[in-house]
Structure 1
Amino acid sequence: MDDTQSAALAEAPPALAAGGSYRWYVLSVMMLVYAINIADRYVVSTVLESIRLELHLSDSGVAFLTGVALALFYVTVSLPVAALADRSSRRNIVAVSLMLWSAMTVFTGLARNFWQLMASRIGVGVGESGATPASTALVSDYFRPLERPMAMTVWSLGSPLGAWIGADIAGRVADAHGWRAAFLTLGAPGLVMGLLVLLTVREPRRAAMDAPKAEPEKAIPLADAFRLLWRNRPAMHLMMAGAITALWGWGLVFWANAYFIRAFGMTAGQTGAALGPAYLVAGAGATLLTSRICAMKAMQPPRRMLWMLAGVTALATLPSIGMLLAPTKEIAIAMAWAFIPAIYFYVGPSIGLLQNAVPTAMRSQATAITVLMGNITNLAIAPLLVGRLSDIIGGRAGASATSLRWSMMVLALTGFWAAWHYWAAAKDFGKRE
Structure 2
Amino acid sequence: MTSGTPNLAQPELAQPALARARWYVVIVLGLVYALNIADRYVVSTVLEPIRKEFHLSDTGVAWLTGVALAFFYISVGLPIAKVADRANRRNIVAGAMIVWSAMTALLGLTQNYWQFLVARIGVGIGEAGGTPPSTSIIADNFPRGRRAFVLTIYALGLPLGAWLGSTVAGWVVDYFHSWRAAFIALGIPGVIFGILILLTVREPVRGRFEYINESSAPAATFLETCNFLWTQRSAWHINAAGTVICLWGWGLLWWTQTYFEREYGLTTAQAGERLGTIYFWAGSGATIATGLILAHPSMQDPKRAAWMLAVLVTFSTIPSFIAYHTHSLGVATAMLWLVVPTAYLYVGPTMALLLNFLPPSMRAQGMAISLLTANVANLIIAPSIVGWISDALAGRMGNAESLRYALMALSLTGFWAAYHYWTSVRSYTADDARVRNFGKPDATITEP
**Normalised TM-score (structure 1):** 0.96
Letter in 2 for 1:64: W
Aligned to 1:133: 132
The one of 10, 13, 16 equivalent to 1:15 is: 13
The aligned counterpart of 1:416 is 415
1:161 is matched with 160
Output the CA distance in 2 between the equivalents of 1:288 and 1:278: 15
Cα distance change, pair 214–65 in 1 and its aligned pair in 2 (3 A): closer
Give the Å deviation of 1:13.
3.6
Report the equivalent of 2:186.
186
Cα distance in 2 for partners of 1:179, 1:21 equals 40
What is the CA deviation profile of residues 168-217 of structure 1, one whole-angstrom value per residue up to 9, with x for unaligned ones? 00011112221000101010100110010000001011111224866554
RMSD after superposition: 1.7
Matches within 5 A, 1:217-256: 217-256=217-256
- Which residue type is aligned with residue 51 of structure 1? I
Matched, 1:27 2:30: no
Is the alpha carbon distance of 1:205 and 1:430 closer, same or farther for their aligned partners in structure 2, counting shifts above 3 Å?
closer
**Cα separation, 2, equivalents of 1:13 and 1:111:** 53
Task: Tell me what 2:435 maps to.
Answer: none
1:360 & 1:372 partners in 2: Cα distance?
Answer: 19
Contact 1:160/1:279 (<8 A) preserved = yes
**Residues 206 and 213 of structure 2 are in contact (CA less than 8 Å); yes or no, is this contact kept in structure 1?**
no
For 1:402 and 1:358, locate their aligned partners in 2 and report how far apart those are by CA, in whole Å. Answer: 45
Q: Which residue of 1 aligns with 2:316?
A: 316
Number of the residue aligned with 2:328 = 328
Q: Does 1:99 align with 2:79?
A: no
What letter matches 1:127 in structure 2? G
Q: Would the aligned equivalents of 1:12 and 1:211 in 2 still touch at CA under 8 Å?
A: no
The aligned runs of 1:19-418 (5 Å cut-off) are 19-177=18-176, 178-211=178-211, 215-395=215-395, 400-418=399-417
Report the alpha carbon displacement of residue 396 of structure 1 after superposing the two structures with TM.
Answer: 7.2
CA distance in 2, matches of 1:10, 1:430: 24
Normalising by structure 2, we get a TM-score of 0.93
Report which stretch shifted further, 141-150 or 206-215: 206-215
**How far off is 1:232 after superposition?**
1.1
Secondary structure of 1:6's counterpart equals coil
Once the two structures are TM-superposed, the CA of residue 355 in structure 1 deviates from its matched residue by: 1.1
Rounded Cα–Cα distance in structure 2 between residues aligned with 1:16 and 1:355: 24
* AA matched with 1:6: G
The residue type equivalent to 2:166 in the other structure is A
Contact 2:325 2:408 in 1 (8 A): no
Amino acid in the other structure paired with 1:52: R
Amino acid at match of 2:96: S
Contact 1:12 1:210 in 2 (8 A): no
| Distance in 2 of aligned mates of 1:212 and 1:422 | 29
> Is the 1:306–1:425 Cα contact (8 Å) retained in structure 2?
yes
- 2:436 alignment partner in structure 1: none
Per-residue deviation, residues 101-124 of structure 1 (Å, max 9, x unmatched)? 000001111110000011111100
Equivalent residues of 2:9, 2:209 under 8 A apart: no
Q: 1:265 & 1:76 partners in 2: Cα distance?
A: 38
Amino acid at match of 2:51: R
Q: By how many angstroms is 1:255 displaced?
A: 0.1
Stretch moving more, 208-217 or 192-201:
208-217
Partner SS, residue 161 of structure 2:
helix
Structure 1 residue 227, shift from structure 2 partner: 1.2
Residues 105 and 168 from structure 1, CA distance in 2 versus in 1: closer, same or farther, beyond 3 angstroms? same
Structure 2 counterpart of 1:190, one-letter code: G
Q: Which amino acid aligns with 2:405?
A: W
- Equivalent position SS for 1:207: coil
* 1:45 aligned partner, one-letter code: S
Unaligned regions of 5+ residues in structure 1, if any?
A: none
Matched-pair contact (CA < 8 Å) for 2:85–2:364: yes
